[in-house]
């Protein structure tokens, strides 16, 4: 059984929130990790409603410093400090993030200390563990902006009956095979694939606030799930271009070109009351698509 990997959409609006939609934020939950992607205004209240404890957050990935993606940050950090957050919070963001967090801490009275580390990212791997890695890629927006890619490591599933067939009993040898290395038995080289199969790791791409660019495809490449902004319907492509945003058709184009299995679009302009009309248009271009709404949960 694959490890549970869930996304919770905490906010799905673009620049201006609406009655139905809060500012941007998505929570990725995987094992002990709770990774918050963007933290728009009101995010901590949305977390409460969704039953997510603020202290469970392990990392915050910031796409860029437009208000709809970060205005909830000071409030969340204050709550963590008051709640006695014991870990070191890891914050990632584009160039300028360190300076902006310094300014933010100056702008408000933070009475309690919070341990956190900020890393500015551009193109490449920004975090690696034995289970997964996170990559970031620069996007094209009005201000420095990055998209993120969560890549779970491939796993080798060893089949006991095949081990038996090759007469492998020793656990160090099994461990070696499990870690992806070959072993020699009776002068014969046995590869991990000979005694099991490779379970492909899951990939999730996050493309928020950008004009159409090559790195959108890089983030989305072969993803099991792509989360993409789609601020405007395709009829407003002039506006999308002017403000460096994507239309529904652009998001579908990225998903198609990058061989994505499932697409979830988000970050909708306040002019759209319901997401039904958005989803209807999206289905014209991409079959497996969903228009996100606040508190939508997606299992990957």
List of residues contacting Zn ion (CB under 5 A): 66, 68, 209
Q: How far is the CB of 69 from Zn ion (least distance, A)?
A: 6
Active site residues: 68
**For the chain, the helix, strand and coil percentages under 3-state DSSP, each to the nearest 5:** 30, 30, 40
Half-sphere exposure of 155 (CA within 13 A, CB side): 13
Q: How far is the CB of 156 from Zn ion (least distance, A)?
A: 40
* First-to-final CA distance of the chain: 13
Distance CA 43, CA 69 (A): 10
Q: Which is nearer to Zn ion, 192 or 211 (CB)?
A: 211
Q: Which is nearer to Zn ion, 256 or 270 (CB)?
A: 270
Half-sphere exposure of 185 (CA within 13 A, CB side): 20
Of 130, 186, 197, nearest in space to 160 by CA: 197
Q: How far is the CB of 92 from Zn ion (least distance, A)?
A: 17
Return the residue nearest Zn ion (CB atom). 66
Whole-number Cα distances in Å, 152 to 32, 161, 224:
14, 27, 11
Residue 164 three-state SS: helix
Q: How far is the CB of 240 from Zn ion (least distance, A)?
A: 12
Q: Which is nearer to Zn ion, 135 or 209 (CB)?
A: 209
What backbone torsions phi and psi does residue 244 show, to the nearest 5 degrees? Answer: 55, 60
Alpha helices in the chain (DSSP H): 43-50, 67-70, 73-82, 97-107, 160-165, 171-178, 192-195, 214-220, 237-242, 248-257, 276-285
Distance CA 64, CA 121 (A): 11
Q: Which is nearer to Zn ion, 68 or 281 (CB)?
A: 68
Q: Which is nearer to Zn ion, 17 or 196 (CB)?
A: 17
Q: Which is nearer to Zn ion, 74 or 201 (CB)?
A: 74
Q: How far is the CB of 48 from Zn ion (least distance, A)?
A: 23
Strand arrangement, sheet containing 297-299 = 116-120, 89-93, 59-61, 33-37, 25-30, 5-11, 297-299
164-168 contacts at long range (C-beta below 8 A, 24 or more positions apart) = 165/195, 166/190, 166/194, 166/195, 168/195
Q: How far is the CB of 267 from Zn ion (least distance, A)?
A: 6
């Amino acid at each position: 059984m694959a490890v549970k990997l869930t996304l919770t959409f905490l906010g799905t609006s673009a620049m201006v929130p609406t009655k139905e939609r809060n500012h941007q934020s998505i929570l990725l939950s995987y094992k002990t990790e709770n990774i918050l992607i963007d933290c728009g205004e009101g995010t901590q209240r949305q977390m409460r409603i969704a039953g997510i404890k603020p202290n469970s957050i392990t990392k915050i990935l910031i796409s860029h410093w437009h208000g709809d993606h970060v205005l909830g940050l000071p409030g969340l950090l204050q709550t963590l400090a008051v709640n006695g957050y014991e870990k070191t919070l890891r914050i990632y963001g584009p160039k300028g993030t360190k300076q902006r967090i310094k300014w933010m801490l100056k702008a408000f009275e933070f009475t309690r200390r919070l341990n956190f580390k900020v890393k500015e990212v551009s193109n490449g791997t920004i975090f690696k563990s034995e289970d997964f890695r996170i990559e970031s890629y620069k996007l094209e927006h009005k201000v420095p902006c990055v998209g993120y890619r969560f890549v779970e490591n491939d796993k080798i599933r060893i089949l006991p009956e095949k081990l038996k067939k090759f007469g492998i009993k020793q656990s160090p040898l099994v461990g070696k095979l499990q870690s992806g290395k070959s072993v020699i038995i009776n002068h014969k080289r046995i590869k991990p694939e000979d005694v099991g199969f490779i379970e492909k790791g899951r990939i999730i791409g996050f493309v928020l606030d950008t004009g159409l660019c090559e790195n959108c495809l890089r983030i989305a490449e072969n993803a099991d799930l792509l989360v993409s902004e789609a601020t405007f319907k395709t009829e407003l492509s002039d506006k999308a271009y002017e403000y460096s945003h994507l239309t529904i058709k652009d998001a579908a184009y990225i998903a198609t070109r990058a061989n994505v299995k499932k697409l979830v679009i988000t970050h909708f302009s306040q002019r759209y009351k319901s997401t039904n009309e958005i989803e209807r248009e999206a289905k014209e271009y991409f079959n497996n698509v969903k228009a996100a709404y606040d508190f939508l949960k997606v299992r990957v």
